Amino acid sequence: MTSIKTKFSPPPTVDGTTGVLYFQIIHNRVVRQLTDPNTNQTHSATS
């Protein structure tokens, strides 16, 4: 079974940037996160 969740990472309070919207995909207990490649923030994939 696959689960797809939409998550929002709020911006840092010090920096004046916007938050990041990303997708979390869970398939066979492996978690992957997809973000927009144009953003400067990265979210690591956890296995």
Q: How far apart are CA 47 and CA 38, in angstroms?
A: 24
Q: What is the pLDDT of residues 13-26, one digit of tens each?
A: 777 778 888 999 99
26 by DSSP, 3-state: which?
strand
Q: How far apart are CA 46 and CA 27, in angstroms?
A: 12
By C-alpha distance, which of 20, 14, 12 is closest to 37?
20
Question: What pTM, to 2 d.p., does this model score?
Answer: 0.59
Across 2-13, average pLDDT: 89
Neighbouring residues of 12: CB distance < 8 A, sequence distance ≥ 6: none
Token pair of 6 as six digits? 């939409």
